[in-house]
């Protein structure tokens, strides 16, 4: 695989066979993959730096920084990194396979009830809190900030469990200086005012971004949306607060509307100090009779996106069957374990 050569089904990277392309971002491509030896029925997500970026020192350093930071986070609401490495200059990360879709896809597919939205965001809170609490091997706080919290980076599983992903531009006090990337990082719509002004950031910067996510889920509108990215940046950076969600959704509990407004306060000191505080506030704001659980989220996922899930599973199964038949290894039970229960396969591995 020379520089710039595109990857394809059947390629082997880091001892894993590529099965199905999941998506491509600005720095990497993600594939569904399986081990080529040992435990054959383990499905993983393989994140591979784009071939055209091979040899680019800055991008490669960012990619490795992400792997080093994210691999330290052990929490059910963060997609786990099992391993990372370098194969002939092609950097890769072996990650937990999440049978789900980005929140951005779910939000486009269906209108979510506010208890379901709150459940999704509360789970994201706990994953991000675990990231914020990460410590270095010597026990010192890393002070990690995700900096790119958005619906695209929150995976909602068909089991109703939410996973935070993509720590590619996460910031830690231990990071070495960046020269080429010393500019505003993150998606414009979810940046906090201090990000835009290039002021010091901390975990409350992520609180702001997740507050914007929740506002959009509840109301269907962005709290600071302008005519273009520049106008949106100006509205976020200004002192003018957003319209309270309850003004747009009168049936929303006032306590939940107040939580959103605190999360997206322009002054960091007026926001929740931690993601754990935000999660507790969400739990307390919703009456037990209306509270949603991951099981509720799972039902919404299957109803809204079940066909998409089936299509992807079938595509992966066809590739696995073809590969195994060619190798004389076809086992129908193995296919079922691979596609329907990758988590169990991972535990056996």
For the sheet with 28-35, list strands across it. Answer: 12-13, 16-24, 28-35, 43-49, 90-96, 81-87
pLDDT, tens digit, for every residue of 3-24?
A: 555 678 888 999 999 999 998 8
- Structure tokens of 107? 């939000």
Would the CATH topology of 12-99+308-341 be identical to that of 100-297? no
Q: What is the pLDDT of residue 181?
A: 41
27 pLDDT higher than 90: no
For residue 171, give every residue at least 6 positions away whose Cβ sits within 8 Å of its Cβ, in sequence order, or none: 144, 145, 147, 185, 201
How deeply is 290 buried, as exposed, middle or buried, from its count of CB atoms within 10 A (0-12, 13-18, 19+)?
Answer: exposed
**Range from 123-137, 154-168, 251-265, 332-346 carrying the lowest mean pLDDT:** 332-346
How deeply is 182 buried, as exposed, middle or buried, from its count of CB atoms within 10 A (0-12, 13-18, 19+)?
Answer: exposed
Helix (H) or strand (E) holding 43: strand 43-49
**Better-scored residue on pLDDT, 154 or 69:** 154
Per-residue confidence band for 182, with pLDDT thresholds at 50, 70 and 90: very low
State the Cα–Cα distance between residues 56 and 54, nearest whole angstrom: 6
Helix (H) or strand (E) holding 44: strand 43-49
From residue 183, alpha-carbon distances to 179, 197, 252 in Å are: 9, 11, 38
Distance of CA 263 to the CA centre of its chain: 19
pLDDT, tens digit, for every residue of 255-312?
A: 999 999 999 999 999 999 999 999 999 999 998 888 999 999 999 999 999 999 999 9
How deeply is 324 buried, as exposed, middle or buried, from its count of CB atoms within 10 A (0-12, 13-18, 19+)?
Answer: middle
pLDDT, tens digit, for every residue of 30-52?
A: 999 998 865 546 799 999 988 78
**Better-scored residue on pLDDT, 28 or 223:** 223
Q: What is the pLDDT of residue 3?
A: 53
State the architecture of 100-297 in CATH terms: Orthogonal Bundle (1.10)
- Structure tokens of 223? 């709290």
Residue pair 6/53 in contact (Cβ under 8 Å)? The answer is no
- Structure tokens of 197? 């002004």
Q: What is the pLDDT of residue 54?
A: 81
Catalytic residues: 148
How deeply is 147 buried, as exposed, middle or buried, from its count of CB atoms within 10 A (0-12, 13-18, 19+)?
Answer: buried
134 pLDDT higher than 70: yes
Q: Which residues pair with 135 in a beta bridge?
A: 141
- Domains of the chain, by residue range, sit at 12-99+308-341, 100-297
Q: Which residues pair with 157 in a beta bridge?
A: 100
Region 139-154 average pLDDT: 93
Q: Please, what's the b/e burial string for 219-258 (b: 16 or more CB within 10 A of its CB; e: otherwise)?
A: beebbbeeeeeeebbeebbeeeebebbbeebeebbeebbe
φ/ψ (deg, to 5) at 44: -135, 170
Q: What is the DSSP letter of 269?
A: G
pLDDT, tens digit, for every residue of 80-101?
A: 999 999 988 889 999 999 999 9
Residue pair 51/7 in contact (Cβ under 8 Å)? The answer is yes
The share of the chain scoring above pLDDT 70, in percent, equals: 85
333 pLDDT higher than 50: no
346 pLDDT higher than 90: no
State the Cα–Cα distance between residues 188 and 184, nearest whole angstrom: 9
**Range from 97-111, 164-178, 211-225, 270-284 carrying the lowest mean pLDDT:** 164-178
- Structure tokens of 231? 């106008």
Region 177-191 average pLDDT: 59
CATH number of 12-99+308-341: 3.30.200.20
φ/ψ (deg, to 5) at 234: -65, -40
Q: What is the pLDDT of residue 307?
A: 95
129 pLDDT higher than 50: yes
């Amino acid at each position: 695989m020379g520089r710039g050569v595109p990857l394809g089904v059947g390629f082997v990277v880091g001892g894993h066979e590529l099965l199905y392309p999941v998506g491509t971002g600005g720095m990497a491509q993600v594939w569904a993959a399986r081990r080529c030896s040992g435990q054959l029925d383990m499905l993983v997500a393989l994140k591979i730096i784009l071939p055209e970026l091979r040899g680019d020192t800055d991008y490669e350093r960012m990619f490795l920084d992400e792997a080093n930071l994210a691999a330290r986070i052990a929490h059910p609401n963060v997609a786990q990194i099992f391993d990372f490495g370098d194969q002939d200059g092609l950097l890769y990360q072996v990650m937990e396979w999440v049978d789900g879709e980005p929140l951005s896809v779910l939000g486009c597919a269906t209108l979510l009830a506010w208890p379901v939205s709150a459940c999704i965001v509360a789970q994201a809170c706990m994953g991000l809190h675990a990231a914020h609490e990460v410590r270095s091997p010597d026990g010192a706080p890393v002070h990690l900030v995700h900096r790119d919290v958005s619906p695209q980076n929150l995976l909602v599983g068909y089991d109703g469990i939410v996973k935070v992903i993509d720590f590619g531009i996460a910031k830690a006090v231990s990071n070495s200086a960046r020269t080429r990337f010393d500019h505003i990082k993150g998606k414009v719509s979810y940046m906090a005012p201090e990000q835009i002004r290039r002021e010091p950031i901390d975990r409350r910067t992520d609180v702001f971004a997740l507050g914007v996510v929740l506002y959009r889920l509840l109301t269907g509108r962005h709290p600071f949306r302008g005519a273009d990215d520049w106008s949106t940046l100006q509205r976020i950076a200004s002192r003018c607060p957003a319209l309270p969600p309850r003004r747009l959704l009168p049936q929303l509990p006032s306590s939940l509307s107040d939580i959103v407004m605190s999360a997206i306060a322009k002054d960091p000191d007026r926001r929740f100090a931690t993601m754990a505080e935000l999660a507790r506030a969400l739990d307390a704001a919703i009456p037990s009779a209306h509270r949603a659980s991951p099981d509720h989220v799972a039902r919404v996922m299957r109803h809204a996106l079940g066909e998409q899930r089936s299509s992807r599973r079938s595509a992966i199964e066809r590739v696995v069957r073809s590969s195994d038949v060619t190798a004389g290894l076809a086992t129908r039970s193995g296919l079922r374990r691979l596609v329907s229960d990758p988590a169990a396969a991972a535990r056996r591995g």
